A = this chain, B = another copy of it.
């Protein structure tokens, strides 16, 4: 083995000082890079839609999850996005100001602000899902018939164990009841 290949693949010998000395660990550098490039193109899709509105990717994420969880509280959104209240604040204010999201006080607990997409917001969120779904449909079409299931299982398994329950709940739950639509 030449020194050249040691550069390419970390190679078994030296364990990365964090685990007991068991089997030599395998490098998945190929998948690491494919994941990088795939995600880059995947999140790039909505950019063209976003641009005309003067919105960025942060707006995409916020609108997406509000649309998927109408009546969501601000705190839930913060937990999902893992950003600070101040960061969310700016983006959310813009979405509200421009009429994509509506925020209403909760009926049961009036401290809460429940977030709802407006008709305009729903339409935009639909466009985001549509463009990314087209990429996924095309990708799955190229792979075998079991590709969808395999992709789903792989992606779930890539998520931190302690977050999986919450993510699965979020992704699969039936939509919350529609608000007393304004």
- Interface residues, chain A, with chain B CB atoms under 8 Å away: 3-5, 7-8, 10, 14, 16, 18-19, 25-42, 61, 67-68, 70, 82, 117, 122, 126-127, 129-140, 142-144, 146-148, 150-160, 163, 167, 170-172, 174-175, 177-178
Contact = CB atoms under 8 A, between A and B. Distances in A.
Given A30-B171, A174-B8, A154 B159 contact: no
B154 A117 contact: no
Given A152-B34, A171-B30, A16 B157 contact: no
A5 B37 CA distance: 33
B157 A28 contact: no
A41 to B, nearest CB: 5
Given A140-B154, A151-B31, A159 B38 contact: yes
| Nearest 10 interchain pairs by C-beta | A139-B157, A150-B150, A38-B158, A34-B155, A16-B130, A28-B136, A8-B175, A28-B133, A10-B126, A142-B157
